[in-house]
Amino acid sequence: MKIVIAGAGAVGTHLAKLLGQENHDITLMDEERERLSSITETAEVFTVIGSCTSPVDLAEAGASSADLFIGVTPEESRNMISCMLASSLGAKKTLARIDNHEYLLPKNRTFFEKQGIDSMIYPELIAAKEIAMAINNPWTRFMWELRGGKVYLAGAKVRENAPIVNLYLKELMQVTKQFHIVAIKRGADTLIPTGKDQVLKNDIVYFTTLRENMGVLPTLLGKSSFEAKRIICMGGSRITERAIGELPPHIQVKVIERDRERAEQLVEVLPSNVTVFVEDGRNTEFLLREGITEADAFLALTENSEANILGCIMAKQHGVRKTVAEVENIDYIAMAERFDIGTVINKKLIAASKIYELLLQADASNIKCLAFADANVGEVIARPNSKVTKKLVRNLNLPPDITFGALIRNGEPMLVEGDTLIEPYDQVVVFFLNRALKHIEHLFN
């Protein structure tokens, strides 16, 4: 597949690396030579220096024969114009990164398609949804709804006091069948566990579960669930604005914004459950006066990653149970996780994985992927007479980097166990490390 990416910022670069691993033909274009030079050293990507709004430069980058054109410069209007141009040059599909949620409304969709912009992605909105999910389920690190909320994929850190700590997965299967551990992140490594693997303290376990089992999970992980009623939010960015829109309206939110003009704008748009303060979010005296000790959650969403990490650490010290930090500097993410910050939000990674997902949809295969941690989640439909339908799961001899999390049979979700037999047309939620894609094709087709 031939893909042209316009804009070698954090999103574009990350995406180019991600796609480069899969033998796609990637062209990355940007006006600045320096931004392109770092990527050519690390990945096999073809680079073009040029403006993404110039038809000549676009043609040179190969937009006319591209299967997919992606506009991810920092500027919305440039992205949209470059998509229109690429589309008129002959690009089959286009995707633009935008800054305005109105464009995503269904009534505007056909208009943009007519203009040659097939899909749009608004990273701030996706980030806001993740934050809301994290606040509503404060015991998790992150949480995704699959199949429209029938199956949940969640990741959480295992506490020392958790009943499941030190158990082998095969023992765990005998204790409870309410969830299925599909991946474990231990330090810097991610593994797809088998029955012989053990759950250790401080592991981040990723598991699938059904909606009705959500209630019992916090205890198994050594945590208690609580409803966040008071939230303090440092920084009044667009993510803040969107995240508040995604949260239930009865939550009391205090937004701390340093810039008075921005604060005035926020007062204008935010609902009545939100109070806006003009102050530096790092002013401890002020935070104590405004009741940080009684807050249930602390969101650090300023543009300064360091300040966000420090803010969350301070909030933890004052007893705030759930912290969320926006960390735009990718190198800091591992560090932030080590400091026990509940949820780390990175707009660029979110955007890149969302684009990756759209991209795989555009591919002819019936696999839909979400990239999380370092593993992938895919939904695969089992074809009749495919290998996977012939034997019980335990007898399939799955390769070590693949596991089945759950399946949907006739619209009913169920978790997959060793003695499950997959039937034709089951939609199976598969977890796999990179490079295992071929095995999946082999099993299901």
Partner 1 sequence: MRKFNYRFVLNNVGILLMIEALFMLFSALIGEYYREEARQAIYLSSGITLLAGSMLTFANRVLAFAGMEQDNRKRSITKREVFLSVTLAWVALALAGTLPYLLSGAIPSFTNAFFESMCGFSTTGSSTIDNLETFPRSLHFWRSFSQWIGGIGIIIFVMSFMPIYSGGASGLFFDAEATGIAMEQVKPRVREIARNMFLIYFGLTLVGFFLLWAGPMDAFDAACHTLSSISTGGFSTRQAGLAYYASPYSEYVIIVLMFLGATNFMLLFALVTRGSLAIFKDEEFRWYASIILLATVGIAVSLFVTHRVGDAESSFRTALFQVVSTVSSTGYTTVDYQAWGPIYSLLFLGLMLFCGCQGSTSGGIKVSRLLVLAKNTQLVFKRQVHPNALYRVKINGKVIPENTTSRVMAFAFLYVTLAAVSAWILSMTGMTLDESIGVSFSSISSLGTGLGSYGPGGSYASASAFAKYYVCFLMLVGRLEIFTVLSLFVPSFWKR
Instruction: Select from 275, 293, 395, 434 the one that contacts partner 1 (CB under 8 A).
Output: 275
Looking at residues 163 to 182 of the shown chain, list those that interact with partner 1 (rule: CB under 8 A): none
Nearer to partner 1, 18 or 276 (CB): 276
330 binds partner 1 (CB under 8 A): no
The one segment of 22-30, 118-126, 263-271, 355-363 that binds partner 1 by CB under 8 A = 263-271
Instruction: Select from 74, 90, 195, 271 the one that contacts partner 1 (CB under 8 A).
Output: 271
Instruction: Select from 279, 328, 357, 441 the one that contacts partner 1 (CB under 8 A).
Output: 279
268 binds partner 1 (CB under 8 A): yes
260 binds partner 1 (CB under 8 A): yes
Least CB distance to partner 1 at residue 263 (A): 5
Contact in structure between 376 and 434 (CB atoms under 8 Å):
yes
Least CB distance to partner 1 at residue 279 (A): 5
Least CB distance to partner 1 at residue 272 (A): 7
Nearer to partner 1, 175 or 269 (CB): 269
Contact in structure between 346 and 336 (CB atoms under 8 Å):
no
272 binds partner 1 (CB under 8 A): yes
Nearer to partner 1, 115 or 283 (CB): 283
Instruction: Select from 113, 227, 264, 303 the one that contacts partner 1 (CB under 8 A).
Output: 264
Contacts of 163 (CB under 8 A, 6+ apart): 219, 220, 222
Least CB distance to partner 1 at residue 251 (A): 17
Looking at residues 284 to 303 of the shown chain, list those that interact with partner 1 (rule: CB under 8 A): 286, 290
253 binds partner 1 (CB under 8 A): no
Looking at residues 410 to 429 of the shown chain, list those that interact with partner 1 (rule: CB under 8 A): none
Instruction: Select from 175, 267, 288, 421 the one that contacts partner 1 (CB under 8 A).
Output: 267
Nearer to partner 1, 94 or 240 (CB): 240
Least CB distance to partner 1 at residue 276 (A): 5
> Residue-wise over 168-198: b if at least 16 C-beta within 10 A, else e?
ebeebeeeeebbbbbbbbeeeebbbbeeebe
The one segment of 66-74, 96-104, 124-132, 259-267 that binds partner 1 by CB under 8 A = 259-267
Q: How far apart are CA 367 and CA 364, in angstroms?
A: 9
Least CB distance to partner 1 at residue 295 (A): 14
Nearer to partner 1, 279 or 363 (CB): 279
Nearer to partner 1, 245 or 399 (CB): 245
Least CB distance to partner 1 at residue 305 (A): 24
Looking at residues 25 to 54 of the shown chain, list those that interact with partner 1 (rule: CB under 8 A): none
Residues lying near partner 1 in the complex (CB under 8 A) are found at 260, 263-264, 266-268, 271-272, 275-279, 286, 290
